[in-house]
Amino acid sequence: MASRLEFIKWDQARYGLDIPAIDREHETLVGLMATVHALHEAQSDSAALGAALRDLVAYARRHFAAEEAFMARIGYTDLTGHALLHQQILERTGAFAAQFERSGVLPSEFFDFLSIWLNGHIGDLDAQYAAFAAEAVPVRTATR
């Protein structure tokens, strides 16, 4: 049976925003998601899986801050709404991480959540601010 998260690999054509700094961060996020999934599938010890999960949460927090700063620089009109979605992702991811720390179990719902984050948020919602950035005059790019 194929893993439901076989899609967790970076695909520039599918997820790329043509904003190099953010694309690199998204690629890193996808790699961290894949690491958590691979460790879970391999039934790795709790310490390794917990560390990978903490890395994912910490990197997501830094990435969201950078992404929101970029949206502010380009004057993105839905920055507030997008930032709220980021907060919700962090809260949900944090809840899964806390559950794992308590129980040593990472439920299958976590991986469903990662699928939504990857495909719905990165794949669709982030494309909206990228389109806005592409139309902005003058076109500004993320720096880092």
Q: 15: which residues sit within 8 A by CB, 6+ positions away?
A: 23, 26, 30, 118, 122, 123
Percent of the chain past pLDDT 70, that is, above it, reads: 90
Q: Quick: pLDDT tens for 75-104.
A: 999 999 999 999 999 999 999 999 999 999
**Rg over CA atoms, the chain:** 16
d(CA 75, CA 44): 44
pLDDT in tens, the chain (144 residues): 344 555 578 889 989 999 999 999 999 999 999 999 999 999 999 999 999 999 999 999 999 999 999 999 999 999 999 999 999 999 999 999 999 999 999 998 999 999 889 888 988 899 999 999 999 855 445 554
Beta carbons of 10 and 27 less than 8 angstroms apart = yes
For the chain, which domains are there? 18-135 (1.20.120.50)
Burial-class residue 144 by CB neighbours within 10 Å (0-12, 13-18, 19+): exposed
Q: 19: which residues sit within 8 A by CB, 6+ positions away?
A: 70, 130, 133, 141, 142
pLDDT for the residue numbered 144: 47
Beta carbons of 8 and 33 less than 8 angstroms apart = yes
pLDDT for the residue numbered 123: 84
Question: Residue-wise over 70-84: b if at least 16 C-beta within 10 A, else e?
Answer: bbeebebeebeebbe
What backbone torsions phi and psi does residue 75 show, to the nearest 5 degrees? Answer: 75, 35
